[in-house]
Structures are given as structure tokens and as C-alpha cells.
Structure 1
Amino acid sequence: MGNREDLLASATRCLQEKGYGRTTARDIASGAGVSLAAIGYHYGSKDALLVEALVEAMGRWGDTIGEALSAAAEVDDPQERFVRAWDAVRDSFAEHRGLWTVQFEILGQLDSLPGLSERLAEAQKAGRLGLAALFHGKAEEEDTPEVLARGVFYQSLLLGQAAQWLIKPELAPSGEDYLRGLSLVCGDVLGGVPVGASGGAEG
């Protein structure tokens, strides 16, 4: 790997091991075996590098989840697919705990780090499109209002599940919890027939 790639790999390790706030530029440069000046040359700043590392790590998490959701997509029953998909997401947090801890930590840094909010907003939209594709068994989805609406829904469930898992893993909602909640909300708001009732929802 070149210096740029070495820095990105080192930043990713530092995020996982030390978190965002406790990672210094010297930590990253030392881990990559390069000079401090290399960070500015390749990424502009330590913070820009850390955000890039976070976005890339989320992409790798997405690849892992994609494999799990592909297996769930083979289930014919749409309700069972939904349950298995969210159980797979919940189970992924144990292996990627550092990644999710950093994401919540970084939210407290937005006001003091110019440009960070904009960079994360760009990644957020890409994440919404990616989640919409993943949960519908596709490699990618078009950027349309309908697809983004699905992505917003999935992203909101995901962040809530992650936050509750970090507080206490056994508190994180399961796929069954989400299915039942979705059924009840649809019944309350849309006047639909609750999932599991006679003539239940279509998948």
C-alpha cells in the first residue's frame, strides 16, 4: 500500500481502538509509519482523514450486512424476511461495536469541526440509498423520492437499534419487535390491517 492507503488503514484502527476524540494525528502517522506532514498532504487534516476512515468502515459494514440480507432475501414469506434481516443487523453490532460507538461520539463534535457536518450529510444520503437497496435485495437503487423515503425509514430504525444495543445489547429490538411495532403503527396511522391478522400485509 502507499502512504495514503496506509494512513487510511491506521486511522480506521485508531477509530476502533481509541475512538474519535482520543485519536491524535501522531497516533495515525505512527501507525502508518509515515510523517505527520503526510496527513495534511493526502487528506488536508486529521479530521478529514478520520471521517474518510469512518465512511469507508461503514461501507465494509454494509458489505457484511449485504451478505446476511442476501440470505434473508431467499425466504419467501415477506414478514419472515423482515424479521431475519433486522436480527442480522442487530447481531452485526458485536463485531463492529467500535464503529458504532464512534458514530455516536462524532455527533457531539459537529459544532467544533467545520465541514464535518456537510461531509457526513453526503454520506448519510448515500447510506439511505444503500440501505434501501440492501433491504430490497438489490445492488443499488435509483435516487428517487420513493427510494429515499424507504432509506430514511430503514436508517432511522438502524440508528435506534444501534443506540439501544450500545446501551445494553439485550435491550436492542429484535426483528419480531420491529415487525409488531410496524404492524401496530400502520394500523393506528394508516388504518391498515395489523401484520399477522387475517389478510395480513403484503410484502
Structure 2
Amino acid sequence: MRHREQLMAGAKKCLEERGYARTTSRDIAAAANAPLGTINYHYDSKEALLNAALLEMLQEWGDKVRAQSAAGRRVESMWERVVGSEATDRPLLVASAEALAQAERFPEIRQQIAEAFEASRTEMAADLHGIDGTDSAEARELARAVGSVHMALVAGLTQQWLIDPQHAPSARDVAAGLRRIADDLDADASDVPDVPDA
């Protein structure tokens, strides 16, 4: 069990310092102060270990940015923490982007990330909007939709901050943009004529 924990800590350290794509099995073993063969023994492969470490780190990051805020400002506060983390957690976000690129060629990576995405959708809907996706099929569908929009925004915002931080939107910009989009959606809905019941 000691080697398993050491390997996880070593993999996390390598992800922060070297990134996903540049980390080798030898790097992890050296950072973990563990024999090279223990990676395959405990995790089957370097990729499986890196994925497990990355997903654990992303879960911790998600918990941090979704932490409860003052009443009435949960969503905007979350976006403030996401934007703030783009600077403080940049190595993690770069490693995450690298892992997503690997998912195209490694079905097991894709599966692990997809499962983490699915769990995150309902967590975001519950934490930020109080939507309990277990109440009914309708609530489950709504939780998935709301969580998916937040995840799309996080992914897009992260890409913008990694590539062009000078022009990336602030939390206030995100909130203003969402308000305008919501207003336009409401206006579009009110323009649709009522269809009489058959």
C-alpha cells in the first residue's frame, strides 16, 4: 500500500512539474522513490496512474472552485474562483489539456475522463443551482443540461486563459455575457406563438 500512495504523490508532482505528455515512468518512479516495476503492478500502466492522479487533482480543483459562497452570488463567485485559478493552477490545467488530447488515441483515458465529466455535471448543478438530479427523470435531465453548460464554459474559459490571458474574459464578463444570453433566450421564447391544444 505504501508504494501505491507514493506513486500517486509522485505522479501528481510530475504532472505539476513536467505535464502529462512529458512525464515518463522513470520520472514518476524517481519522484515517488519507488521501484519502476511498481507502476505496472499497482496501476497496470503509466497512463492509468497519470489519469488517476489527474482526475483526483481535478476533483480537488473542482471542489475548490465550487466551494460555497455568499448567498445570491454562488455562480458569479464560482466564476471568480475559476478565473483566479487560471494563474495559480496553470500547470494542472495544462496537464488536463494534454490528457484530453491523449483521449483520442487511448480509449481507457477517454472512458475515465467521460465518467469524471458525467459526475461533475450533476455536482455543479447541485452545488450552484440546488438541482437534485436524483429527484426525477426531468430533474436528472435538467441537472445534466445545466452542468454541461457550466463545464463547456470552464473548458472554453480555460483554453482562452491558457492561450491568450490578456484578452480572456473576467468573471464579470462571463456573468454579463450569460445574463445577456439568458435575456435573448427569454425574448426568443416569448416570440414563439402559442400552439393551441389539439
TM-score by length of 2: 0.83
Within 5 A, what are the aligned runs for 1:144-163?
144-163=140-159
Within 5 A, what are the aligned runs for 1:78-93?
80-93=73-86
Gaps of 5+ in 1: 194-203
- Opposite residue 51 of structure 1, the aligned amino acid is N
By how many angstroms is 1:22 displaced? 0.7
By how many angstroms is 1:171 displaced? 2.3
- Say which SS state the counterpart of residue 87 (structure 2) adopts: coil
User: CA 1:114–1:132 in structure 2 vs 1: closer, same or farther (change >3 Å)?
Assistant: same
Gaps of 5+ in 2: 190-198
- The one of 167, 170, 174 equivalent to 1:174 is 170
By how many angstroms is 1:141 displaced? 5.5
Whether 1:108 and 2:101 are equivalent positions in the alignment is yes
**Quick check: 1:82–1:175 contact (8 Å CA) kept in 2?**
no
By how many angstroms is 1:162 displaced? 1.0
> Equivalents in 1 of 2:178, 2:42: separation in Å?
46
**Quick check: 2:66–2:124 contact (8 Å CA) kept in 1?**
no
> Equivalents in 1 of 2:176, 2:188: separation in Å?
13
> Equivalents in 2 of 1:41, 1:112: separation in Å?
23
Q: Which moved more, 1:29-38 or 1:42-51?
A: 29-38
User: CA 1:134–1:94 in structure 2 vs 1: closer, same or farther (change >3 Å)?
Assistant: farther
By how many angstroms is 1:63 displaced? 2.6
Partner of 2:22: 22
**Quick check: 1:14–1:27 contact (8 Å CA) kept in 2?**
yes
By how many angstroms is 1:81 displaced? 4.2
- Say which SS state the counterpart of residue 170 (structure 1) adopts: coil
By how many angstroms is 1:174 displaced? 2.0
TM-score by length of 1: 0.82
Partner of 2:181: 185
Q: Which moved more, 1:46-55 or 1:154-163?
A: 154-163
- The one of 123, 127, 130 equivalent to 1:134 is 127
**Quick check: 1:132–1:148 contact (8 Å CA) kept in 2?**
yes
**Quick check: 2:11–2:49 contact (8 Å CA) kept in 1?**
yes
User: CA 1:43–1:13 in structure 2 vs 1: closer, same or farther (change >3 Å)?
Assistant: same
What is the root-mean-square deviation of aligned Cα atoms in Å? 2.3
Taking only the aligned residue pairs, the percentage that are identical comes to 38
Matched residues, number: 185
- Opposite residue 166 of structure 2, the aligned amino acid is E
